Amino acid sequence: MTAASSSYAALPADLQTDRSSIIALWVSNLGHPERRQDKYDWFYLRNPAGAPHVLLAHAPAENGTPVGVIGLGPRQMQCAGTPLTAGLLADFGVLAEHRTLYPAMLLQTTLRNLYLPQLGLIYGFPNPKSEPVVKRLGYASAGPMVRYVRVLRSAHYLPERLPMPLRRALGHVADWWRHRLRRTRYSHDYKGFVVQWMDQPDSRFDALWAAQRTRPELLGVRDRAYLAWRFEQKPWRKFRFLTLSARDNGLIAYAVCESVGKVLHVRDLLAHPDHPGCAELLFDALFHDARADGRSSVSFEVLGPPSLQHTLQRLGMVARGQRNALFTASETLLPSIGQTPWYLTSADEDY
């Protein structure tokens, strides 16, 4: 039986002494047991923005067994050029026998009350089961994270009931229409630019980030140190950086990419504000390399301004689903954050 509401307590955890309890709750609620030790070391012990906060729900009360957990990782951001530290919701779960509304609400409410006053902004990407709990606490939508897809090999997406030779023939025609004809109509001039794949960011990434100071959006820091931690040093996953450089002006755009099966996922994208059109150049090169490498499609999930959405659509990428990014802000920050467009990619998540 579930304990009575009054017998629960949500208390701050100690990242050293409570490690085993936290990881055990993750394994029970979030799956992928083989990754949990690495996730703890990477996200909770080596976070360049500082140590995350973790709350444990205990039952019965303060001295009871931990039955739920929630994390809050610091994320350095800027709002229209002004620096701020936000909190990223992470690793939220409650044991099955305690999954009434109260323990989940207690964890979320306690976390908000403890840390929103000092941070000013908390945001996250709750799954469909957690989203109602978060919304009941007054979280608002920052906008939809839209997944855009560009099909590179149509035969992979035609009905399987069709014979393979027919699928290949139809796919070849569709691919010619979608790619080669489009490249003829929307050809790009790469003169003066260099496209290069890299395994890790270098000092030029700091200069590209410095150029973002005048951007009007709310966006997370993407300097060399953060990108190296978020992608190069991430356990159990492999990322590569596709860079676009001007021969006389350094790095002007990058895309962080991850191959999963036949799909190439763009996990982050940043372009120099003084080089309009550089994102199109970068994506065209990405499509070409992905297709040559045998990928069937390219996917990019992003919450961004209309100008970026139009660019992706012009590149032949189609929206294929979306999910909400939710946030809550202090009374001091809410007016400015509520009026500022957001820019979020997978780089702003904890997975």
Domain end marker among 116, 138, 160: 138
Q: d(Cα 38, Cα 102) in Å, to the nearest integer?
A: 30
The residue whose two tokens read 């919450």 is 303
pLDDT (average), residues 341-345: 97
Residue 327 included in any domain: no
In a domain, 351, yes or no: no
**Residue whose C-alpha is closest to residue 258's, from 285, 229, 234:** 234
- Does any domain span residue 255? yes
Q: Nearest 5°: phi and psi at 137?
A: -90, 5
Whether residue 152 sits in one domain with residue 112: no
Using CA atoms, how far residue 210 sits from 25, 79, 184, 205, 268, in Å, is 40, 14, 35, 9, 17
Is residue 101 assigned to a domain? Answer: yes
How far is Cα 201 from Cα 243, in angstroms, rounded to an integer? 9
**What is the arithmetic mean of pLDDT over 332-345?**
93
Question: Residues 159, 204: one domain?
Answer: yes
Mean pLDDT of 184-207: 83
Name the residue type at position 323.
Answer: R
pLDDT tens, residue by residue, 148-172: 999 987 556 656 766 776 666 665 6
Whether the per-residue pLDDT at 2 is higher than 50: the answer is no
DSSP state at residue 228: I
What integer pLDDT is reported at residue 344 of this predicted model? Answer: 98
Buried b (16+ CB within 10 A) or exposed e, 66-88: bbbbbbbbbbbbbbbeeebebbb
pLDDT confidence tier of residue 1, bands split at 50, 70 and 90: very low
Residue numbers of the domain that contains 127: 5-138
How many whole angstroms separate alpha carbon 125 and alpha carbon 332?
A: 23
Return phi, psi of residue 329, to 5°.
-135, 155
Residue 131's pLDDT band, with cuts at 50, 70 and 90, is: confident
Q: Which carries the bigger pLDDT value, residue 125 or residue 61?
A: 125
Each residue's pLDDT tens digit, 68-115:
999 999 999 999 899 999 999 999 999 989 888 899 999 999 999 999
Residue 334 falls inside a structural domain: no
Residue 335 lies in a domain: no
Where a domain ends, among 138, 162, 192?
138
State the Cα–Cα distance between residues 199 and 201, nearest whole angstrom: 7
- Do residues 167 and 320 touch, judged by C-beta distance below 8 A? no
- In one letter, which amino acid is 212? Q
Query: For the chain, what is the largest distance between any 2 Cα atoms, rounded to a whole number of angstroms?
Result: 69
Contacts of 257 (CB under 8 A, 6+ apart): 239, 240, 241, 242, 264, 265, 266, 267, 286
Is 106 found in the same domain as 183? no
Q: In this structure, are strands 121-124 and 82-94 parallel, antiparallel, or unpaired?
A: parallel
Distance CA 53, CA 43 (A): 11
Same domain membership, residue 230 and residue 173: yes
φ/ψ (deg, to 5) at 69: -150, 150
Predicted confidence (pLDDT) per residue in 16-74, tens digit: 999 999 999 999 988 889 999 999 999 999 999 999 999 999 998 777 899 999 999 99
Which residue, of 138, 160, 186, is where some domain finishes? Answer: 138
Q: Are residues 195 and 214 in the same domain?
A: yes
- If asked whether residues 168 and 313 sit together in one domain, one would say yes
Where would I find the beta strands (DSSP E) of the chain? 9-12, 53-59, 65-79, 82-94, 121-124, 140-151, 193-198, 218-220, 240-246, 250-260, 263-271, 297-302, 318-329, 342-343
Whichever domain contains 21, its CATH number is: 3.40.630.30
Report how many domains make up the chain: 2
Token representation of residue 96: 């099955």
Write out pLDDT tens, residues 265-295: 999 999 999 998 899 999 999 998 998 899 9
Confidence of residue 6 (pLDDT cuts 50, 70, 90): low
153, 51: one domain: no
d(CA 182, CA 185): 5
- If asked whether residues 303 and 180 sit together in one domain, one would say yes
d(CA 99, CA 106) in angstroms, rounded, equals 12
pLDDT digits (tens, 9 = 90+) for 199-245: 999 999 999 999 999 899 999 999 999 999 999 999 889 999 999 99
Question: What pLDDT band is residue 175 in, cutting at 50, 70 and 90?
Answer: low
237 and 133 together in one domain:
no
Exposure string of 120-143, with b = 16+ CB inside 10 Å and e = fewer, is: bbbbbbbeeebbebbeeeebeebb
191 against 131, higher pLDDT: 131
| Rama region for 250: left / alpha / beta (φ>0; ψ in -120 to 50; rest) | left
Q: What pLDDT sits at residue 156?
A: 62
pTM, two decimal places:
0.90
| Helices assigned H by DSSP within the chain | 19-30, 33-39, 101-119, 131-136, 164-175, 181-185, 204-210, 224-227, 278-292, 306-314, 334-338
Q: What is the pLDDT of residues 300-320, one digit of tens each?
A: 999 999 999 999 998 989 999
Same domain assignment for residues 152 and 264: yes
Does residue 350 form part of some domain?
A: no
Place 180 in a pLDDT band, splitting at 50, 70 and 90: low
- Residue 151 inside a domain? The answer is yes
In this structure, the answer to whether residues 152 and 96 fall within a common structural domain is no
Predicted pLDDT of residue 186: 52
28 and 127 share one domain:
yes
Q: Peptide bond preceding 201: is omega within 30 degrees of 0, i.e. cis?
A: no
